[in-house]
Amino acid sequence: MTKKSVEIKVATAQDCMAVATLFDKYRQFYQQQSDLNSAMQFIDARISRCDSVILLASDASGAVGILQVYPTFSSISMANVWLINDLYVCESARGQGIAKRLINTCIELATVQQVKLLRISTEFSNTAASTLYEQIGFEKDTRFQHYNFFIKG
């Protein structure tokens, strides 16, 4: 497989459809029903409200990857924290280092923004992602247990 030239940029309102299409595929990867219209509305809201940063990777064929990060805070360290919530690369573009480039671009942006901590998670079964995160330098959290409470309705 030959590596293609890939550009990574911060997505804007003009990129909503490309991002939403990849976001819909990302959700399908996690066994969610395809819903491009809702994905478009969700991504449009994130971009227009500036409540996330979305990185978009594109090559000559079009959009091939996304990374969405949400800014938050750590009360304990009184610092900015970013949560990398969504990372997806099209199946046809995998194996080219695009996910790594998206994460490294996010790290560069976080450094400029004086973010103290980046968080990322994946399913226990996603060993490819876990391996990549550890290669980049992410460390497993062995201090805190994380819990979820799902609101019904």
7-136 folds as Aminopeptidase (3.40.630)
pLDDT for the residue numbered 90: 96
pLDDT for the residue numbered 50: 95
Please report, rounded to a whole number, the percentage of residues in the chain having pLDDT higher than 70. 98
Local confidence band at 2 (pLDDT 50, 70, 90 cut-offs) = low
Q: What is the pLDDT of residues 34-66, one digit of tens each?
A: 999 999 999 999 999 999 999 999 999 999 999
Query: Which is nearest to 144 in space by CA: 121, 113, 116?
Result: 121
Tell me how far CA of residue 115 lies from CA of 39, 50, 77, 106, in angstroms. 28, 17, 11, 11
Contact status, residue 90 vs residue 83, Cβ threshold 8 Å: no
Q: Which of 24-28, 102-106, 120-124, 143-147 bottoms out in mean pLDDT, i.e. has the lowest?
A: 143-147
Query: Which is nearest to 67 in space by CA: 35, 112, 104?
Result: 104
Whole-angstrom distance, CA of residue 60 vs CA of residue 41:
26
Residue 148 reports pLDDT greater than 90: no
pLDDT for the residue numbered 144: 87
The mean predicted confidence, pLDDT, of the chain is 94
Residue 1 reports pLDDT greater than 80: no
Contact status, residue 83 vs residue 101, Cβ threshold 8 Å: no
pTM of this structure: 0.92
Give me the residue spans of the domains in the chain. 7-136
